Amino acid sequence: MNAVAGNSGVLLAFLAATAGAITTGLGLRRSAGPGLRHGQVYAALVLTGALAATGAMESALIGHDFSLIYVAQNGNLYTPLLYTITGMWSALAGSILLWGLILAGYLALMVWRFRHRVADPLIGWATLVVYVTAAFFFGLMLGPANPFKTLPPSLVPHNGAGPNVLLQDNPLVALHPPMLYLGFVGFVIPFAFALASLITGRLDEPWMQETRRWVLFAWGFLTAGILLGAWWSYQVLGWGGFWAWDPVENAALLPWLCATAYLHSSVVQQRRGMFRVWNISLVVATFSLTIFGTFLTRSGVIQSVHAFSESTLGPYLIAFLGVVVVAGVGLIWWRGDQLRSPPGVKSVLTREGAFLVNNLTFAALAFVVLLGTVFPLLMQLVTNQQVTVGRPYFDTMTLPLGLTLLFFMAIGPLLPWRQSTGGLLRKRLKIPAWAAGATVAVCVAAGVRGLIPLVAFGLGAFAATSALRQIVLAVRAAHRQKRPPYHGLVGPSRGGMVVHLGIVVIAVAFTAASSFAYRSEVTLATGQSVHVDGHTLRYIGLASVRTPVRNAIKELVRVDGAGPFAPAVTTFAGATEAVGTPAIDSTPLADVYLTVVRLPSSRHGKAIIGVVIQPLVLWLWVGGALVILGTALAAIPVRTRSEETSDSGGDSDESESESEMDDAIAVSGAEAGIPATVSGARTV
């Protein structure tokens, strides 16, 4: 029954997407409003089919219907309910189903949002592009990625294999993949509008206004997904880190970089009419890179803890990627003359000049990451030899780019549009520069050494002060206008300053954790204590936990008298592979990260415990929360132009010609460019 319902849902969604594309296409060809209106009706059927298929899959997982191959491979009688539900996206076919569900949701939301403009060709072409994309993904589920394939009755097992042990060891599995997918799939909407604007020749800024908030939401979800992935890696994998330049991590970072660049440069196009080719190219590149990331994780071409097993989807995904790239690049070339912008940037010491350098840096960073990710694949394809591009390459190449982004994030909000004067710049830069100098002086006095950490901390103070200045001015403006102070935080530019603060916190925490981490292994008998990098560890002994779901052997350790903390080795029901589970004593100053290196041979024997001590790790997650908060604030529309008319809140000595707080979510890539820690020692 589940197989029939699921296959019927997928078939309904595929047929509805195909019919919607055909009907919309015919309506556009005939310039017929009724045809376009009828085309939009199919969006509800696509969503209905996707919901039916998802409901059938969850019913099969929760009801342990092992007649479905997918459930037999990823379900288990003893798996807790949460991880049974998340089993839908724990393997290849189910993850494509989740992709299709989210895509159907975006399609339905888009059709509802523009329901009063069905006769507009721009909306029609955008809807057609989304329909074609939906038909492709639901078509995959009818063929090579069918999640509802069944076993012969004689081969149906009494119990399933269960999900991967790493996917049932932390509840973040319920949040990280859906957030990533909401980000990835969300970029289809701006991509569709970009193609529609090229096809219709409507290349003025309205198409950007239509999609800016869609980009912002997708960017916010992708940001949350990346941050949750880093947190999950830190809590589960036991290596004490949160970013390893894994190819699948890079696949998520690449569209994030392009989308961030777009959110910057789209401000300049809306204000000055510049960067038109660049902006539409960034939208095409962002969606193309989401398909590329899907290819990396679902084709079996890479080996990664994040990637799915080998599959036959590779040729289909690479062909679809080719269509996306050819369509985007071809249309941009076709409309090249109409995309010409007015005269360029006159000075780098202007707001648009800072955005230009910022965008070039983002592009360089994306190229470096892309090259390091695909180079091993290209070498294997050409020479049939396996090569590895490791962390040293990424750290070395991205470090200067990351610091450059942090610098321009600091000075960008302080620069005026069009032209600047020395007096204005000195006035605006004075307090942030003093804050940066004082921060470096305090760090040196406190014993901090190393050029990179000091530069990063100084730039962080500069950027934080710059953002706080903008926030204070906005709150003061709200007060003068007799509005509640929180109105000074609402809107694209003001929310962007909160994002600034979050990124600064992440950059500083990442620098501290990576540059001053201490790694060691200690051997302790029961009752013994040891001092490690200013912390006292006392080994209490072993403890065991046995439940129908899992068996765990824990090493109980007190850290500075607190605890006990219990790093463990866990075996889950139905799985033969054991997984290490770290324990973390997290404080605002530092994390003490404990792992089991070797269990004692007897209850009173000696345990070998891995210890990683990293300062300020907690602030990574605090900074991430600030970024998400800022994104939400930026998505709230301001009511009047006066709320965005000046970055000074009306002070005559701070006002600018045609000034307006930049409508950007300025985000630094510095967290992608801070050097790593070498295991076994503290490095600076």
Torsion of CA 287, 292, 297, 301, to 10 degrees: 180
The interaxial angle of helices 121-142 and 33-62, nearest 10 deg, is 30
Going by C-beta distance under 8 Å and a sequence separation of 6 or more, which residues neighbour residue 680?
A: 519, 520
> Is-contact 103 192, C-beta < 8 A?
no
Q: What is the mean pLDDT of residues 576-585?
A: 86
pLDDT in tens, 335-378: 887 877 666 666 677 888 888 888 899 999 999 999 998 888 88
264 pLDDT higher than 90: no
| Phi (first) and psi of residue 583, to 5 degrees | -125, 140
pLDDT in tens, 202-226: 887 677 777 888 999 999 999 999 9
The distance of Cα 180 from the centroid of its chain, to the nearest Å, equals 6
658 pLDDT higher than 60: no
More confident residue, 557 or 306: 557
DSSP single-letter state for residue 86? G
**b/e string for 83-115 if b means 16 or more Cβ within 10 A?**
bbbbbbbbbbbbbbbbbbbbbbbbbbebbeebe
The Cα 674–Cα 671 span in angstroms is: 6
Of the ranges 31-40, 162-171, 281-290, 447-456, which is most confident? 281-290
How does residue 310 score in pLDDT terms, banded at 50, 70 and 90? low
Q: What is the mean pLDDT of residues 294-298?
A: 83
Going by C-beta distance under 8 Å and a sequence separation of 6 or more, which residues neighbour residue 166?
A: 236, 237, 305, 579
Q: Which helix (H) or strand (E) holds 529?
A: strand 529-532
Other Cβ atoms within 10 Å of 322 Cβ, number: 12
Q: What is the model's pLDDT at position 408?
A: 87
More confident residue, 299 or 677: 299
Local structure of 406: helix, strand or coil? helix
CA atoms within 13 A on the CB side of 433: 8
Closest CA to 264 of 357, 355, 366: 355
pLDDT in tens, 45-65: 999 999 999 999 999 999 999
679 pLDDT higher than 60: no
> In 3-state terms, the chain is what percent helix, strand and coil (to 5)?
60, 10, 30
Handedness of CA 540, 545, 550, 551 (dihedral sign): positive
Q: What is the model's pLDDT at position 290?
A: 94
Q: What is the model's pLDDT at position 217?
A: 93
Q: What is the model's pLDDT at position 415?
A: 81
Examine residue 564 and say whether the peptide bond preceding it is cis (omega within 30 degrees of 0). yes
Give the global pTM. Answer: 0.88
Q: Which helix (H) or strand (E) holds 611?
A: strand 607-615
The Cα 407–Cα 9 span in angstroms is: 51
- Mean pLDDT, all residues of the chain: 84
232 pLDDT higher than 60: yes
Q: What is the model's pLDDT at position 342?
A: 64
Beta bridge partners of 551: 546, 571
Q: What is the model's pLDDT at position 149?
A: 94
- 3-class secondary structure per residue, 637-671: CCCCHHHHCCCCCCCCCCCCCCCCCCCCCCCCCHH
Query: Residue 651: left (phi > 0), alpha (psi -120 to 50), or beta?
Result: beta
> Is-contact 676 395, C-beta < 8 A?
yes
> Is-contact 355 268, C-beta < 8 A?
yes
Handedness of CA 290, 292, 298, 300 (dihedral sign): negative
